Structure 1
Amino acid sequence: MTTLSELPLFDRLLWAKENLAPVETDYRVVFECDMDEAAAVLVPAPEWMACALAGGILPPVEVYHQLEIDEKGHVLNGHILHETPPLGPMTEEQAIEYLIRKDVPSHVWQDETANRLKFYICQKHQIPEDRGFRNAWRLAA
């Protein structure tokens, strides 16, 4: 009998959709890719957070960094997402760190020489509800 962790990623995600209740988190990541651009807000999908907290579904984040993409944007070695054994359960904090390394451009979180804040992990209530001036948001120095 095949266990969940032995299934391809796609099948594990289908299983999660049918069996896990979405998990809302209060965590948000505000980041700037470029000083000349507005800050972006990363909000974890409740379905993704459920997968991260449950464990046995998501591959290690390093696998995403190993993906090879051709000039047309096609992934050449996507099989590694399905063949790599999944991680165990994460805490919410670990899941946010994983998501930063997966979805925020690496020059934002890898640059240790910067003399300014490039991203900030905060809670939902710390972000203004009024999005009227969202394109003008910047991280405070």
Structure 2
Amino acid sequence: MTQLAELPLWQRLEVARQYLKPVQSDYRVVFETDLDGSACILVPDPNWLACALQGGILPPVHVYHDLEYGENGRVLNGHILHETPLIAAMSEEEAIEYLIQKDVPAHIWKQDQGNSVRLLICRKTQLPATRNWRNAWNLIQEKAA
């Protein structure tokens, strides 16, 4: 897999999916895009997590923020996903932080507005065992003592 750096991102991910054993994460990211809506739960894809732990496959997370979109929603400078030097292996915790910065809206993880809890990293066992009433889940806003 030493020649992966020469491949576009989508091909690197596909090759890695074929050769790396998927890694199930026990971490979950719970976040609210607005205080009136229900909570969203981000679960790392086992194949993506294997890539993050392996290293040499993913671009730096800032590349996703540098993407420019045209009026039709198409990416105009997608080549940066394929040409940027790749990052080294990450720990599982670093991979979760990367995933948050990649997939959760920036206004949530930057915490630049208000003092409410908008994002929480937890273990799978800390979430309800069933998905009943899933659309009613919210993050609890603890009051300072």
With the length of structure 2 as denominator, give the TM-score of the two structures. 0.93
Aligned length: 140
Structure 2 counterpart of 1:64, one-letter code:
Y
CA distance in 1, matches of 2:131, 2:9: 35
How big is the shift at 1:48?
0.4
1:28 corresponding residue in structure 2:
28
Between the aligned partners of 2:113 and 2:38, the Cα distance in structure 1 is 21
Match of 1:3 in 2: 3
Whole-angstrom distance in 2 between the partners of 1:64 and 1:52: 15
Q: Distance in 2 between matches of 1:49 and 1:104?
A: 16
**Displacement, 1:11?**
2.2
Distance 1:118 1:71 in 2: 30
Q: TM-score, normalised by structure 1?
A: 0.95
1:33-112 → structure 2 map (5 Å cutoff) = 33-112=33-112
SS at match of 1:122: strand
Moved segments of 4+, more than 4 Å: none
Among all aligned residue pairs of Structure 1 and Structure 2, give the percentage whose two residues are the same amino acid.
59
What is the deviation of 1:129?
1.4
Q: Please report how far the alpha carbon of residue 113 of structure 1 lies from its aligned counterpart in structure 2 after TM superposition.
A: 3.4
Give 5+ residue unaligned stretches, structure 1.
Answer: none
SS of alignment partner, residue 3 of structure 1:
helix
* Structure 2: stretches of 5+ with no match in the other structure: none
Cα distance between partner residues in 1 of 2:70 and 2:14: 27
Query: What amino acid is aligned across from residue 92 of structure 2 in structure 1?
Result: E
